[in-house]
Structure 1
Amino acid sequence: MVVQNMSDSDVDSIFHALADTTRRDIVTRVMAREQSVSDLAGAYAMSFAAVQKHVAVLERAMLITKDRRGREQIVHGDLNTLRKAARLLEAYEEIWRTRADRMDDILTED
């Protein structure tokens, strides 16, 4: 594993959650400011239940957290999980760059 403290299952969960356009938009919205699930549902042309399912996928992936305030569930983005995903992608980029540099060295050898 490229990123310590992340199982293959955790990585799969994060990237599965981020593979969907609506879920990426939800993450963007709640990283900008916390929102209730009801507010989020109003932003999409889908049922409240469908938005709840998207929120559940993001919560299982630990990309968001929910807190109850009275009758509302408030959704917050989890910056730590996003940072882990970014570090994983950076590690893969470094692998690619190292490989490209080696290829360049081979091509420029006498």
Structure 2
Amino acid sequence: MRPRGEIRDALAQAFIRLLSDRGLLVEGVAVDGVSVRESAAAAQVGFDAARRTVENMVRAGQLVRISSVKRAGSQHWEGLYAPAEFVPGHACGVAALANALQSIAAPVAA
């Protein structure tokens, strides 16, 4: 498996920094999310690269789409994301799924 790339690292740090700077983290829980456009600007990466990387991070379980917002003057809805470790219940579900899959695979391997 390839190591995480520079864009993924920069975006992960940008999400955490933006959430904490805006006061969206309350006792370690994200109360709102950050858009791809805002995180790309904070991480100083291109929008297309950030969009593809965020899609991959959601697929990998690193980010969670919390909600959507329609900005003034825009025709499209924008997704708001937060790191999975700051979304209550999400990380627990991933860990429970991993444990269940390991328990199923263990008898087969033995």
More helix by share: 1
More strand by share: 2
**TM-score normalised by length of structure 2:** 0.47
**TM-score normalised by length of structure 1:** 0.47
The structure having more radius of gyration, on CA atoms, is 1
* Higher-RCO chain (CA-CA 8 Å, sequence separation at least 6): 1
